[in-house]
Amino acid sequence: MSLFYWDTRDLNRWTGEGDAETITKKINGGKNGLADWFGRLTRISLVLLGYRADNVLQFQADQRLQVDGDVGPKTRAAMHTALVALTPGEAARPEVEAAPVTEEKPVPVPVTPLSLDAPW
């Protein structure tokens, strides 16, 4: 059943791009469990790349990224690119791309006029 679900929703497309956020949204209907998924993805990626599972700082330094220990979009994209490069010729395939790097922007909190906050 799960393979049918995966195939009918074309989730391999997003896997090939390393876009775990889109896959999570399509499976869970939102971002439920996304932080846990990114944590697991980070640990296994680091191990496959020859690092300790908790050594994000060293990976970031080696990739000339901002060394902050935060596994944000740029670090995840660098991990995906490094993982693809482990298989000779894989990076040259046209369907293999890194997920787009996007930075989340804070949404301003709307401020209501004082007159609306006063008790009626």
Q: What is the per-residue pLDDT across 6-55, written as a single tens digit (0 to 9) for each?
A: 888 888 887 777 777 888 888 888 888 888 888 998 999 999 999 999 99
Tokens linked to 111: 């401020």
The Cα 28–Cα 69 span in angstroms is 27
Q: What phi and psi, each to the nearest 5 degrees, are found at residue 89?
A: 85, -15
Whether residue 49 contacts residue 83, with contact meaning beta carbons closer than 8 Å, is answered with yes
Mean pLDDT of the chain: 79
Which is more confident, 114 or 7?
Answer: 7
**Global pTM?**
0.62
